[in-house]
A and B are shown apart, each in its own frame.
Chain A
């Protein structure tokens, strides 16, 4: 079974621009979560999508948004980029069986974003 894939793997943008990152989950997985990883803050939860609906959100500004398509693929968008948005953006997929289930998230390789 193919793992989680993310595109692009590397990206360089300048301040003020916007960026869209893509994530394709493992086949059969319906939940996609996004995380930001930086050396200073570690891994931080951005949001989770299940059945095309955002069902959880972390503490990030509204410049960070996402969506999920009917085939479970997900995109996240960051508008008006700031230098501090430079990070590794990871997506993770899981079955999406719901609360209380022994559900494991599997991470993709990430997109490394550099904002200049």
Chain B
């Protein structure tokens, strides 16, 4: 079966660092994506990993370990505008652009 797990909610303080974990068990794997979704808006692309290791992009970094079926999204220097849901998604290897999404992690950033 297909299973992607993320924590449901997290809270953090402005200026801090937060790590959002994602574990997956899928029948195929062709890359892992992180999306950010503000309430009432469309998901926006944050990062993509297909090889093991860390990808850094400004305040956001994403890590992947394929052998462990594990990824995390690291957000540094948190800002209030980072309050949003963060979605982990695996692209199915047989499915071109078929993305399998986790339920998402709602992050609340407090002053």
Contact = CB atoms under 8 A, between A and B. Distances in A.
Interface of A: 4, 31, 33, 35, 42-45, 48, 50, 55-56, 58, 90, 92, 94, 96, 98-100, 102-110
Nearest to B4: A42
Interface of B: 30-31, 33, 35, 41-45, 48, 50, 87, 89, 93, 95-104
Interface of A, secondary structure class, is strand
A90 B43 contact: yes
A35 B35 CA distance: 14
A109 B98 contact: no
Given A43-B101, A45-B98, A104 B42 contact: no
A106 B45 contact: yes
Given A98-B96, A100-B30, A42 B102 contact: yes
B103 A105 contact: no
A46 B93 CA distance: 17
A94 B42 contact: no
A98 B97 CA distance: 8
Contacts of B100: 45
B31 A102 contact: yes
A53 B52 CA distance: 33
Given A31-B97, A56-B95, A90 B42 contact: yes
- Residue in B48, B87, B96 with the greatest tally of chain A CB atoms within 10 Å: B96
B98 A44 contact: no
A45 B2 CA distance: 12
